[in-house]
Amino acid sequence: MQGVGLAVGEVFAGYRIERVLGRGGMGTVYLAGHPRLPRLIALKLLDRELYADEEARRRFEREADVVARLDHPNIVSVLDRGADDGVLWISMQYVDGGDAAAFRGRPMDPARAAGIVAQTAAALDYAHDRGVLHRDVKPANILLSAAHGGGDRVLLSDFGIARMREDTRQLTKTGELLATLAYAAPEQLSDEAVDQRADQYALGCTLFALLTGQAPFTATNPGAIIAAHLTRPVPNASALVPGLPPAVDEVIARAMAKDPARRFAGCGEFADAAARALAGRAAAAVSQSPADYSPPVPASVSNSADAPGWQDASVASTPPAVPHPADAVVARRPASAHNWASDAVSRAPGRQVSSGWRTFSVLLLVSALVLGVGGVAAVGVYWKFVRPNRPQPLPWGAQHSIAIAFPELVPASPEGTGWRGARCHAAATVVTQPGDPVPLRQIVCTDPDGVTAWYTEYAGFRDVQAYLTAHATLTGEREFSRPGGLQVFRPTDPAAPFALATHGWVAPMVSSVLVEVAWPGHTFDEVRDLWWAQAPF
């Protein structure tokens, strides 16, 4: 049985268990009585099954280490930690109240939303000044209780995936992207350098959600959410909620600028600008025009809401629904130095138009508009000759090279379905093990039978071979639709996350792409015979 399963009244590590506060992907949080003081605490326990997982232990212990460095009235405090009977635990400040996610689906009073964001911003700026990034700011991690004298007392919780700015270790477990996609900054999703401005972006998303009752970008699949963060302009909150001043749209747009350099200098500055805008005094709150917020070329393309993880670690709340596996992005970490923009757009197929024709078309269009005649003809020339040759974004963005390499397996766009009805998305983050070559990009597909295939592109053939040499053994080969054979590999580690790997080792376009397959409940031989042998490579 997963977890620890403590009963009400049971004593664990000296704490008397009162009730369950919440459950998540790594364990359970209990309300418990302090052994020596008349107070209640939140007791977070790592699932017993994860105790042997070094990465899970390190992440769990690091949460205590990170938060223990922070002493701020708007940050949940860590009181103690330890291990008892093979179970890791952390005791934390208990907040008797709810969280800001409880308002999902209905707009919050603007003044109250501004106050919640201001207190959260103070907590974040304090953490940032001490070198700590939160990396998972969202309404569910903003705890609310009644303040003395009225109003909200805000406490920021769940630093489970926080890290020190100088810490380059990647502790996100392979197969999971723990940052909530609905509130993740573009640089998090495209694996660029992340600093405190990513937390500001998430706080901007949070303010939008508090004011409107919904996240800025909503969709039913991870690919659409990520593509929206990377390419779509920020929607206007005032268009969704009558009565909101349009000035707040500019403030949120600046906090959520695709380019981190265009955001506010700090979270507090953003919160102040938001408060002025919501009070109708934001004429000078934003120094940039709305045109400054036009989205750049996509950085990469991979729902909603929460990936598996801790839920409301220190607040009494309704236990969360178990997220669908599609809500977690399964991945290994790509090379951040790659120039994604060079891959993201391409000229649309069709006839090539000479520069003379383009010049003539533009002159005709301008002349017609100036003279007020022939407007229809000018527009016709534009649509026939000029517009089709403008750079058009590719459906898969940076992962286009993978999609076209396996057209019978991977759909032409994230909205389509692949072989056997598989739904696919571009992985936002790809995590490698020490010593492994670093991939460039990845597409993940899962079919209705539970078969998951990872299509991972490396810099070249040698990187794929190095990975296979370290983790798998060649067991066979089959015919390929292109020159060369399609080799099949069995993992050398029985606990490996994949059951089978395959590689078109000399085939053009695919020699740098590794395909790994997992099918829960099926052996290597079954995956080979029922999936790999029949797959339309």
Catalytic amino acids?
Answer: 136
DSSP 20-84: EEEE-SSEEEEEEE-SSSS-EEEEEEE-GGGTT-HHHHHHHHHHHHHHHT---TTBPPEEEEEEE
Quote the Cα angle for 489-492-493, to 5°.
130
DSSP string, 309-351: S--STTB--PPPPPPPGGGSPP--PPPTTS-THHHHEEEPSS-
CA 496 to centroid of chain Cα atoms: 24
At CA 97, angle to CA 93 and CA 103, rounded to 5? 130
CA nearest neighbour of 396 among 408, 417, 414: 414
Determine phi and psi for 123, rounding to 5 degrees: -65, -45
DSSP-derived pairing of the beta strands 472-478 and 163-164: unpaired
Distance of CA 253 to the CA centre of its chain: 19
Give dist(CA 515, CA 517) in Å, integer: 7
What token pair was written down for 126?
């304090």
* Cβ-Cβ contacts under 8 Å for 129 (sequence gap 6 or more): none
Contacts of 158 (CB under 8 A, 6+ apart): 136, 140, 141, 309, 310, 312, 313
In the chain, count of helices (H) and strands (E)? Answer: 14, 20
C-alpha 407: how far from chain center: 26
Edge-to-edge strand order for the sheet containing 27-33?
A: 11-12, 15-23, 27-33, 40-46, 87-93, 78-84
How far is it, in rounded angstroms, from Cα 335 to Cα 287?
34
CA angle, corner 254, sides to 153 and 283, nearest 5?
Answer: 85
